[in-house]
Amino acid sequence: MIKCIVCDLDGTLIKTDDTIEEKTLVTLKNYIEKGVEFIIATGRDHNMVIDFLNRYDLDCDLILNNGTQYCNKTKTFNDIYPMDNHSFQKIATILEERGYLLSIHTNQGKYSFKDAESFWEQHVQILKSSPAYLKKPLPKKTFTTKDGYLRDFHYASNAKEMINKGVKVLKIDARHLDSYSVKGIKEELNIEHLDISSSYEDNMEITTNKTNKGYLLEKVIQKKGYLLDEIAVFGDGENDCYMLKQFPYSFAPKNACQLAKESAQYILSQTNEEGAVYEGIQLLRKSNLL
């Protein structure tokens, strides 16, 4: 029997406007009330998750920043797995020199080497150049509103200043407006102890190579006393692949990347916009696993 449901957020559980299909939410809450545990495993940081949790009145364990942080909604516990300082300083310097906008997610909020206003302006510029927001008004969600995105913002002049302050870096989001100008940069970023998750060099996620969503989830379920076949896992991206491979009841939505589909045990017929997680839960129910 399934005792724990683990979901990625973007591209899996939630739609592009940060909402959940009503039938999915009702079904999830029904099983939570029956004692099935729910865990979110996402590349997002705490600030990017808290509005979602509050909106839907959810209080669950969180695997954040691609598996470099394990906490709950109120952070009454907060385990972190930061990158080492030398590797951080080395890669941050290269990326800054090449003109990337860096969102540096830490144990003390989000840092940038740009002041808040410049950081926000470049963030919006990058958003509006993407197909998702081209010639469209930005939606009212945390990632695309100034108050939401800058809520946990801190400025530092450089990596050394952050290191001297004792700030622990969990993940770097590195984005660039000009994909052509940074073509081939990954060859420069083969830095010891770091992992780069991305299909595109103009949008990269960088963490320590000591952990990921799947590694951390294994630790969490071992601590909780669950067996592998008591976990249902849902994910759509490259950062979900290890997690999808490790569990016998793993699901990739129709919109998942090819690597995620190859890693999952089951490929769903619905996308995240249509309620893929609901479909997976119904398959488990029909198999008498829920």
85-208 placed in CATH 3.30.1240.10: yes
CB atoms within 10 A of CB 181: 12
Domain ranges of the chain: 4-80+211-286, 85-208
Q: How many residues does the chain have?
A: 290
- pTM value? 0.94
> CB under 8 Å to 88, separation ≥6 — which residues?
159, 162, 163, 169, 172
What is the strand order of the sheet 194-200 is part of?
Answer: 153-155, 109-112, 101-106, 169-175, 203-208, 194-200
Question: In terms of C-beta density within 10 A (0-12 exposed, 13-18 middle, 19 or more buried), how is residue 252 classed?
Answer: buried
Q: How far is CA 100 from CA 71, 95, 103, 119, 121, in A?
A: 29, 6, 10, 11, 13
Contact 2, 36 (CB under 8 A): yes
At 184, the pLDDT band (50, 70, 90 cuts) reads confident
pLDDT tens, position by position, 224-233: 999 999 999 9
Q: In this predicted model, what pLDDT tens digit does every residue of 19-58 receive, in sequence order?
A: 999 999 999 999 999 999 999 999 999 999 999 999 999 9
Fold match, 4-80+211-286 / 85-208: no
Residue 77 · residue 54 · CB < 8 Å: no
| CA–CA gap between residue 171 and residue 135 (Å, rounded) | 30
Q: What is the mean pLDDT of residues 64-77?
A: 96
* Per-residue pLDDT, 133: 82
Give 135 or 59, the one with higher predicted confidence. 59
**Count of CB atoms within 10 A of residue 214's CB?**
24
Q: How confident is the model at residue 199 (pLDDT cuts 50, 70, 90)?
A: low
DSSP strand E in the chain: where?
4-7, 37-41, 61-64, 69-71, 78-80, 101-106, 109-112, 153-155, 169-175, 194-200, 203-208, 231-234, 249-252, 266-267
Closest to 285 (Cα-Cα) out of 71, 23, 8, 22:
23
Q: Which CATH number fits the domain 4-80+211-286, given the four candidates 1.10.238.10, 3.40.50.1000, 3.40.50.970, 3.10.20.30?
A: 3.40.50.1000
Strands 37-41 and 231-234: unpaired
pLDDT digit string, tens, across residues 210-254: 999 999 999 999 999 999 999 999 999 989 999 999 999 999 999
